Amino acid sequence: MDPEESFKAVRKAMKAHHEWFKRCLPLIASENIVSPAVREAIISDFGHRYAEGWPGERVYAGCKFIDEVELICIDLAKDLFRAEFADVRATSGVVANLIAYTALTKPGDTMMAMPIPSGGHISHGPEYTKSGSFLGGTAGAVHGLNVEYFVFDRKELNLDIDESAKRIREVKPKLLLFGASVFLFPHPVKELGEVGREVGAKVAYDAAHVAGLIAGGYFQDPLREGADTVQMSTHKTLPGPQHGMVLAKKELGERIKQATFPGLTSNHHLHNVAGLAIALAEFKKFGKEYAGQIIKNSKALGQALYERGFNVLGEAKGFTESHTLLVDITSFKNRVGLGRDIEERLEKAGIILNRNLLPWDISEGRNYLNPGGIRLGTSEVTRLGMKESEMQVVADFIKRVVIDKEDPAKISLEVAEFRKDFQKVHYCFESELEAYEYVELH
């Protein structure tokens, strides 16, 4: 392709993506949209600058306004999460986890975390699986940690406290890592953290998925429950730009700072720090209401899907206490296929979600390519202004595609019509800009 053709093709694809998302139902649990004010911040000149070091101690000139913004961002983060220390320079959730590993452990140490098939994130994973195949999980492959697992209770869809406590006493890890990518119910941080202390372990908590719910006063409060550090990405239930952040007890601040710079960052993406500061300010004003509505919506969507014939997990516990739902779709195998098939079918209908491993998939011979589950999240549709009654409509669309096997192309037209009333970003300062409006500067 000649350069002009490439230039045009990229812009055309981006515009098409925006137009498509205006017509879709975005239900990926790890995604969200930023407010117009955050979008403004992330295209500012901050994105062209370097500011290595800590505000006021930079090794570059030109940072006086960047310092001002970063200090505001730090204050907002400490305030919202009631944290003694915050470092807002991690460039992503994976980097935030690596910062915690670096500050709290040495290569060769053992960490206990959630098994990946039960919802643990790839950044919690070992270098090799037990069968020896290369997985390349960040904790093992990058920081050289041995990873052992908490015991997961498949019925409760949470950590088994007694069995995990036994494992902690046997393994004597240096670090316990709570948190997950399929995070339906709060983890027993207090109970298992106390056991960890007996064997000298530190406690870290990956809040990437649930950061907004924590800041909104829901879910759980890991710092009050004894976590030494809380790491997160900043763009899931906390609707900021794609970035990361580490909170910690005061006495760990210096270690976190050094692990962050010069350890794991040089440029820390200053436009995203500015965007995060704006997002945190907006969250301080609107976040409690937003987080509460996310949870109401996910419970309502869980109930609505369940009533329409889906095996939504966690029914006895109200399906979820977070933004996420996990649905076992194995009973549809002979009619519409498994996770990947259903993900594709729903995408054709304009319903965007992802296939997901169920905790028992591996033992039943399925893998991530076409697993037995789908995962749904309500953060983005809530941000678009949807409430419990709209969750009924969403569940109807999903049922018609998966259970009634209606033509996805036909459903996509109805989804687009339904979406017409939900084009603005809610729970943020007012703006004329629509949620998926493509902003042309050229």
Identify residue 26 by its one-letter amino acid code: P
* Nearest to ligand DSN of 55, 140 (CB atom): 140
Strand runs labelled E in 42-87: 85-87
- Smallest gap from Cβ 39 to ligand DSN, in A, equals 21
Footprint of ligand DSN on this chain (CB under 6 A)? 30, 93, 121, 181
H/E stretch holding 329 reads none
- Smallest gap from Cβ 211 to ligand DSN, in A, equals 12
* Nearest to ligand DSN of 79, 344 (CB atom): 344
For the record, the structure tokens of 21 come out as: 């998302």
- Smallest gap from Cβ 326 to ligand DSN, in A, equals 12
* Nearest to ligand DSN of 95, 295 (CB atom): 95
* Nearest to ligand DSN of 36, 117 (CB atom): 117
Of 155, 234, 181, 238, give the one whose Cα is nearest residue 356: 181
- Smallest gap from Cβ 322 to ligand DSN, in A, equals 12
Strand runs labelled E in 315-404: 324-328, 351-352, 354-356, 373-377
Match 């500011």 to its residue by tokens.
51
The answer to whether the beta carbons of residues 378 and 353 sit under 8 Å apart is no
SS3 label, residue 127: coil
Q: Are strands 110-113 and 175-178 parallel, antiparallel or unpaired?
A: parallel
Tell me the residue nearest to ligand DSN as measured from the CB: 30
Rounded distance between C-alpha atoms, residue 380 and residue 49, angstroms: 30
* Nearest to ligand DSN of 257, 375 (CB atom): 375
> In sequence order, what are the residues at sequence separation of 6 or more whose Cβ sits closer than 8 angstroms to the Cβ of residue 438?
14, 15, 18, 19
- Smallest gap from Cβ 253 to ligand DSN, in A, equals 25
* Nearest to ligand DSN of 39, 121 (CB atom): 121
Rounded distance between C-alpha atoms, residue 283 and residue 246, angstroms: 18
- Smallest gap from Cβ 375 to ligand DSN, in A, equals 8
